[in-house]
A and B are shown apart, each in its own frame.
Chain A
């Protein structure tokens, strides 16, 4: 089901948190709302599911205007950060609750709960209570409960934030698998760029109540619209160097000369790109397959490189490295992309 949010505005008291936000999600697509905390991504999610009233704009599921529809009647399934399972009910009762509300027959409820449990692989846990489950299992129950009504849209609010690193990896692919299998339109709210990049078809990067850029993960990574986007995506993060433009071809925002900022990703720095830049190693972080090396340039600025292990860099060592020049990103002093 296609989802269209038009000119969405949200105010808390007299403070406008989000103004005229537009977002369109294709049918069957999984999109991430990514951004630092306080950027309005959760607010957007809660407006879509109907918990927050919209102060302006409209929301359409397909051709249907659901702007004024109460949360109860919206065809939306939500997975909350703390899963919000009903602690006094068994797993089966938890999953069955939305169907019970719809007054479905007992046999039908039993069958549909069985199907959902099968899909999220918790068929052996149906008689347990939430307190007896691990975090990953609780997550699966929450997913099953959100999906059992067969909603048109699935909303996930930081679903992996409460899991440990290994489970997070597992649930990442699980959620994606379930989303693909059912072909449901999904929106994932997260502040973790790795989650957004690995799970979603497209990413909407938000900042201060606005969507800064909406693109595929790779599109956004290789072609960021401004310095904020370039800095937000990528782990280890991009290095920014101050620079002076000497002879820019017009039309350019800064004229032909002036101060600019260069963004250089760690994988584009290293000995394999020549030896034009001289510097001193200030930090080495072995990561197993690769190692992360910080170097200080004579100007005092820092450049970060990620290299295959086996170079045996030590702190204080003098190195001469190059950069892959065609991958360098340039920004104006204000942060706009050149």
Chain B
């Protein structure tokens, strides 16, 4: 930790900049456990009523929080796996194979990445209706994965570009088939990129709100973001801010955990290289 002392001013600036976020998180947590009475600064008595969604249905006919959380995991997880599986092969093809239409494809990728996807929502809605997968997790996963793919392919292509082609030639010369060379020699070089992409697509799926709201509004395919949104209309009379805060905490916990555990892998995607 000796190197950190020189960077104390960077740490200071970052601390100040992130202090409001931290304070907000802290208050959200505190107030979900012990509500602060109106006009006071310090919390009152401990009251776990805001967390009641963990052990009971909020309303008759609503799904339990666990069903919704499961849905969210399936949605984000499957999306991330699909994006990775396709990006890892498409990126290789774009990086290494001299196929017809490659420049157009690459340009298209960038275009699609920059494209405001929200303008597609009506077309997607109609398509899903037509296919009969409107208001299902499957439809949601397909759409989300498709929208994430340009970014994923582009990132993986970048990682493949850093792998020297001599490694592949050496592998072929050593007698291995192209598939084996890719799997055993090239793939390990881009593993950091793949790990980062997996985490980033998972988080992106986890935080997706508009797509589930429009394409899966029913209760069977509800995810945490839309569940959170629906709480607003729980009680006509008054909003339950304690519940809102507790749910918010619950929703952001996996994200915070993932960031804490995988900081290093996530930084890779911005470094873009493979070292050692």
B176 touches A101 (CB 8 A): yes
B102 close to chain A: CB less than 8 A: no
Total residue contacts A-B, CB cutoff 8 A: 60
Query: Which secondary structure dominates chain B's binding surface?
Result: helix
B176 touches A78 (CB 8 A): no
Interface residues in A42-95 (C-beta closer than 8 Å to B): 49-51, 71-74, 76-78, 80-82, 84-88
A172 close to chain B: CB less than 8 A: no
B174 close to chain A: CB less than 8 A: yes
A296 close to chain B: CB less than 8 A: no
Interface residues in B159-180 (C-beta closer than 8 Å to A): 164, 166-167, 169-177, 180
Interface residues in A27-50 (C-beta closer than 8 Å to B): 49-50
**A149 and B175 in contact (CB under 8 A), knowing A80-B170, A86-B167?**
yes
Of the four ranges (under 10, 10 to 19, 20 to 34, 35 or more), the interface on chain B belongs to 10 to 19
Distance A51 CA – B171 CA, assembled complex (angstroms): 11
B166's partner among A77, A82, A146 (CB-CB below 8 A) is A82
A71's partner among B167, B172, B185, B276 (CB-CB below 8 A) is B172
B185's partner among A74, A81, A86, A146 (CB-CB below 8 A) is A86
In angstroms, how far is the closest chain A Cβ from the Cβ of B192? 11
Interface residues in B47-75 (C-beta closer than 8 Å to A): none
A131 touches B276 (CB 8 A): yes
A78's partner among B169, B274, B276 (CB-CB below 8 A) is B169
B175 touches A80 (CB 8 A): no
B254 close to chain A: CB less than 8 A: no
A84 touches B166 (CB 8 A): yes
Distance A78 CA – B171 CA, assembled complex (angstroms): 10
Q: B-facing mask of A129-162, CB < 8 A → 1, else 0?
A: 1010000000000000110010000000000000
B172 touches A72 (CB 8 A): yes
A98 close to chain B: CB less than 8 A: yes
B188 touches A88 (CB 8 A): yes
**A80 and B177 in contact (CB under 8 A), knowing A71-B172, A88-B189?**
no
List chain A residues, Cβ under 8 A from B180.
101
Distance A129 CA – B276 CA, assembled complex (angstroms): 8
The residue of chain B having its C-beta at the shortest distance from the C-beta of A73 within the complex is B175
A102 touches B170 (CB 8 A): no
Of B164, B175, B188, the most chain A CB neighbours within 10 A belong to B175
B173 touches A101 (CB 8 A): no
A71 touches B188 (CB 8 A): no
Interface residues in B128-180 (C-beta closer than 8 Å to A): 164, 166-167, 169-177, 180
In angstroms, how far is the closest chain B Cβ from the Cβ of A49? 6
List chain B residues, Cβ under 8 A from A50.
172-173
In angstroms, how far is the closest chain B Cβ from the Cβ of A115? 17
A97 close to chain B: CB less than 8 A: yes
List chain B residues, Cβ under 8 A from A74.
173
B166 touches A71 (CB 8 A): no
B175 touches A102 (CB 8 A): yes
List chain B residues, Cβ under 8 A from A72.
172-173, 175-177
List chain B residues, Cβ under 8 A from A98.
174-175
List chain B residues, Cβ under 8 A from A73.
175
In addition to A72-B177, A80-B166, A145-B170, 16 A-B residue pairs with Cβ atoms within 8 Å of each other are A50-B173, A51-B169, A51-B173, A72-B172, A73-B175, A78-B170, A78-B173, A81-B166, A84-B169, A85-B170, A87-B274, A97-B171, A101-B175, A129-B276, A146-B173, A149-B174
Query: What 3 A-B pairs are tightest by C-beta distance, nearest first?
Result: A84-B166, A98-B174, A84-B170
Q: What are 11 of the A-B contact pairs (CB < 8 Å)?
A: A50-B173, A72-B175, A73-B175, A74-B173, A77-B173, A78-B173, A84-B166, A86-B188, A88-B189, A97-B174, A129-B276
